[in-house]
Amino acid sequence: MTGSILRRAPLLGVSGLVVLVDQATKLLAASQLADGRIVPLLPGLINGQLVLNTGAAFSLFRGSVQWLGFLSLAVTTGLLIWVVRHRTPPFWQGMAVAFLLGGTLGNGIDRWRLGHVIDFLALVPINFPIFNPADIAINLAVLCFLVDLWSSRTSSRHG
C-alpha cells in the first residue's frame, strides 16, 4: 500500500503545488488590486487587473457559481478516483491529470469559498479574457493530453 501511495505522490504534489501557487497569488491579487488599479507584472505583456468571475472560462455560464461549484467537485472527485486506480500512468497523461486536478481544485476553492473565481492576469498585446494560474494549469493539462495522444500514436506506429 505504501508503495502505491509513493507512486502517486508526484502527481498529487504537482496538483498541490498548482493549488498553492493559485491560491497564494489570488490572495495577493485580491489585496493589491482591490481598488481597481492595473499593475504591470511583465511590462508590455501581462498586467495585474482584478476581475471577480462568476462564470467559467471566457466568462461562459456567468452567474452559475453553484452549478460550476458542483461541476468542479465532480471533476475533482473523478480525477482523484483516476489517480487511485492508475498506479503508474504514462508521463504526459499523469502530468495532464495533475495539472487538471490542481486547476480544477484552485478554481473550485474560489467558487465554494467566495462565490466567484478571482482572475487577475491580463494579456496586454491582445484582447483576451483575464485569467489566473488555475486556468493556466487547465490549459497545460490540455496540452499534456495532446502530447500524450500524439506520443502514444507515434509509438504505436513504430512499435
Rounded to whole angstroms, how far apart are CA atoms 147 and 141? 10
Among 22, 110, 135, 148, the one annotated catalytic: 135
Sole residue written with cell 494560474: 133
What pLDDT is recorded for position 84?
Answer: 85
Nearest one of 87, 120, 113, 82 to 100, comparing CA atoms: 82
Domain count, the chain: 1
Is 29 a member of any domain? Answer: yes
Element (H, E) at 91: helix 91-114
Q: Does residue 135 have an active-site annotation? A: yes
35 is catalytic: no
159 occurs within a structural domain = no
Instruction: Kindly state the DSSP code that residue 87 receives in the 8-state scheme.
Output: S
Point out which residues pair with 119 in neighbouring strands.
51
CB 112 within 8 A of CB 69: yes
Contact between 56 and 68 under an 8 Å Cβ cutoff? The reply is yes
158 within a domain of the structure (yes/no): no
Asked if the structure places residue 30 within a domain, the reply is yes
CB 19 within 8 Å of CB 133: no
Confirm whether 75 is domain-assigned: yes
Instruction: Look at residue 69 in the predicted model and tell me its pLDDT.
Output: 82
Q: Report if residue 59 sits inside a domain.
A: yes
Amino acid 3: pLDDT: 44
Confidence band (pLDDT; 50, 70, 90) for 87? confident
**What is residue 57's predicted lDDT score, i.e. its pLDDT?**
63
pLDDT at 122: 97
DSSP letter at 34?
Answer: T
Tell me the residue range of the domain where 43 lies: 2-152
Choosing from 22, 110, 119, 148, which is the catalytic residue? Answer: 119
Residue 157 included in any domain = no
